[in-house]
Amino acid sequence: MNTTTSLSASTDVNTPTESARTRKARNRIRPSVGGIIAQLILLIYAVIALFPIFLIIINSFKAKKYIFGEPFAVPTPATFDLIGYKTVLERANFGVYFMNSLIVTVAALLLTLLIGSMAAFALSEYDFKGNTLLALYLSIGIMIPIRLGTVGILKLMVSLNLVNTLVGLILVYIAQALPLTIFILSAFMRQVPKELKDAARIDGANEYQIYRMIIPLVRPAVGAIGIFTMIPIWNDLWFPLILAPSSSTATITLGVQQFLGQFVSDWNAVLASLTLAMIPILVIYLIFSSQMIRSITSGALK
Amino acid sequence: MYERKKFPSHILVFLAPAVIIYTIFMVYPLLNSLRMSFYTVTPDHREVFAGLDNYVNLFTNDIFAPRFWGALKNNFIFFAIHMVVQNSIALMLAALVANEHRRGANFYRTIYFMPTVLSVVIIGFIWNLILNPLWGVSKSILDVVHLGSLYQPWLGLAATALPTVALISVWQFIGIPLVLFYAALIAIPEELMEAATVDGATGWGVFWRIKFPLILPTVGIVSILTFVGNFNAFDLIYTMKGANAGPDYATDIMGTFFYRTFFGQQLQLGDPSMGATVAAMMFLIILTGVLLYMFVWQRRVQTFEM
């Protein structure tokens, strides 16, 4: 495989899918046994993927008696009960945790995009000495997980007085997200036609203005970056647990983990908190899913 | 055009923030952690050079060695289950989805990826509840297909806990290999398949003789991503089985062993040097995998393609 040349921007996806559609239309003239079996397998797996999530959500709205008595029934007026949600809202600090996660993820995302796009621009635009070596250095982090440096990171955070702060988490997450972000963004930036930049240079634009001109053109890459760097940050348990476990800095993932540990025998509260933790992510995912998956399938990571 | 001038300042401005943050918070701690695996910390917090003592300790000491070899073995089993179950099911589903109507394809892709975006903590608790004998839903589900008698508290039994946790991880992360396979499959030029169909090849034959060799690069990427992800895994087992990875360390993998060694557990104090040593072993294992992938697999696939 050729890692650099097979990278392509998001526009060429349609062609293969389009032709797949015509092929399918042709095949459908005679509905085959194979086609029906294929549909059946796809449906069965869809049920396997969704059913556990569905089961938790429906039971979170039921009284305890019915969680155990009729676990597969959807809630009806007779079985409906919000007691779990009441417990969660009274006992857990989910508001604080949620804000912490939001601050950490958004700050890490914005800073990673800014810093990463600057570096990606320099690496893809200029032919300076050491370019390849620097690109290699920055891409080590794609394959070597940052967790392996945890002993050193904790030591560093202690000496910088950044333990139990959101700033510490944000810095680690930027370092974690930069390698892949730079890799994806520089692949997209190489697609931008050279003529465009040269024309701007002739018009007297300086290099910083050229950078600002390029940024809107690589927006399709943000979907892939979102899915591969931001979701892992939002969902991370390791660094919040080690670097910022205090109750004022806990993220939602750590908060849910600790809450569930304490309330493990209160089924209503457990089901309700799981549902509360899932809903925002699922809603965001459903809104952006087509864009996220399109930017992966467009070849940003091939 | 810049060659004869001194290094242009705007390039430095563009590169400096990324290089500095990445170096300080990723590369330096990693190197420092590797260095610490050759030192011990005395009770008055001085670091003393210890040579390979920590490694000898890890491989032979009665406290560390059984746990280390156990975690290593479990981690390979964990990885093998992902390779066999996760990646083959993902390949099959991706092939089926790639054959679908565009609308259907979007629908299935969206659903199959859904568990992947949820946090491991949520997934772990969901399955803890579903497999809990108290709730009994998994037995009821098995009863529907008349297999209820097979139900066991799989998570609690030493023989089945590790495969069970691995399959839950497969269930969650199958979306990643699936989209990568799917992307590779829809990128294959239609004419290739048409030519084969004209030549009388069946769907099965077309897949294995034409499509599969063409997506071999993706098979490699998926394998190395699975390898790195598995040898770095921690969250799911910590959530479902705690840091002690019970029952009786049956689900202990390198990540949980690292956490316990670094932070301590019940009667044993945490030990940064030994923690760094475990991390260094994880680093070596992952690095070996990555290098094998880059220099053996990629080179082979390249010659194969030409």
* pLDDT digits 0-9 by tens, A169-205: 999 999 999 999 999 899 889 888 888 899 999 999 9
**Which of A1, A50, A55 is nearest residue B301 as measured by Cβ atoms?**
A1
Q: What is the pLDDT of residues A36-67, one digit of tens each?
A: 888 899 999 999 999 999 999 999 999 988 88
Residue of chain A nearest B110, judged by CA positions: A289
* Full set of structural domains in chain A with CATH: 32-81 (no CATH), 90-300 (1.10.3720.10)
Residue of chain A nearest B2, judged by CA positions: A128
Higher pLDDT, A25 or A160: A160
pLDDT at A90 over 60: yes
Residue A301: predicted pLDDT: 47
Residue A54: predicted pLDDT: 94
Tokens 């040269």 correspond to: A198
Residue A6: predicted pLDDT: 37
From residue B116, alpha-carbon distances to A227, B175, B221, B265 in Å are: 10, 6, 18, 31
Picking from B125, B214, B297 by the largest number of A CB atoms within 10 A of its own CB, the best residue to mutate is B125
Q: What is the pLDDT of residues B249-303, one digit of tens each?
A: 999 999 999 999 998 876 677 888 999 999 999 999 999 999 999 888 888 876 5
Question: Region B178-200: what's the mean pLDDT?
Answer: 83
Is residue B297 within 8 A of residue B222, CB to CB? The reply is no
**Token digits of residue B212:** 């599969």
- Contacting residues of A for B8, CB less than 8 Å apart: 126, 128
Residue A12: predicted pLDDT: 40
Which ipTM score applies to this complex?
0.87
Residue A3: predicted pLDDT: 38
- Contacting residues of B for A207, CB less than 8 Å apart: 10
Residue B199: predicted pLDDT: 77
Q: Is the pTM of this model over 0.90?
A: no
Average pLDDT of chain A is 84
Residue B213: how many other CB atoms lie within 10 Å: 12
Picking from A42, A173, A234 by the largest number of B CB atoms within 10 A of its own CB, the best residue to mutate is A42
Q: Which CATH number fits the domain B71-305, given the four candidates 1.20.1070.10, 1.10.3720.10, 3.40.50.300, 3.40.50.410?
A: 1.10.3720.10
**Which of A118, A128, A242 is nearest residue B17 as measured by Cβ atoms?**
A118
Residue A73: predicted pLDDT: 87
Q: Would the CB atoms of B137 and A55 count as touching at under 8 Å? A: yes
Residue B302: predicted pLDDT: 66
**Which of B10, B32, B193 is nearest residue A152 as measured by Cβ atoms?**
B32
Question: Region B2-8: what's the mean pLDDT?
Answer: 62
Q: What is the pLDDT of residues B123-170, one digit of tens each?
A: 999 999 899 888 888 888 888 888 878 888 899 899 999 999 999 999
Tokens 């050491």 correspond to: A130
**Token digits of residue B235:** 């969250």
Q: b/e for A156-178, b at 16 or more Cβ within 10 A?
A: bbeeeebbbbbbbbbbbbbbbbb
Residue A8: predicted pLDDT: 39
Task: Please name the helix (run of DSSP H) or strand (run of DSSP E) that holds residue B164, with its range, or none.
Answer: helix B158-173
Question: Region A163-171: what's the mean pLDDT?
Answer: 96
**Token digits of residue A132:** 């390849």
CA A292 to chain centre: 9
Share of chain A above pLDDT 70, in %: 85
Q: Would the CB atoms of A274 and B126 count as touching at under 8 Å? A: yes
Tokens 């895994």 correspond to: B233
pLDDT at B196 over 90: no
Task: Please name the helix (run of DSSP H) or strand (run of DSSP E) that holds residue B48, with its range, or none.
Answer: strand B47-49
CA A96 to chain centre: 21
From residue B256, alpha-carbon distances to B95, B117, B186, B249, B253 in Å are: 35, 22, 39, 10, 6
Residue A298: predicted pLDDT: 62
pLDDT grade for A95, boundaries at 50, 70 and 90: confident
pLDDT grade for B26, boundaries at 50, 70 and 90: very high
Which residues, in sequence order, are CB contacts of B136 under 8 Å at separation 6+? Answer: A68, A71
**Which of A68, A71, A146 is nearest residue B26 as measured by Cβ atoms?**
A146
From residue A102, alpha-carbon distances to A98, A106, A301, B71 in Å are: 6, 6, 27, 35
Average pLDDT of chain B is 88
To the nearest whole angstrom, how far is the Cα of B75 from the nearest Cα of chain A? 16
Residue A145: how many other CB atoms lie within 10 Å: 22
Pairing verdict, β B39-41 and B268-269: unpaired
Q: What is the pLDDT of residues B203-212, one digit of tens each?
A: 778 888 888 9
To the nearest whole angstrom, how far is the Cα of B178 from the nearest Cα of chain A? 11
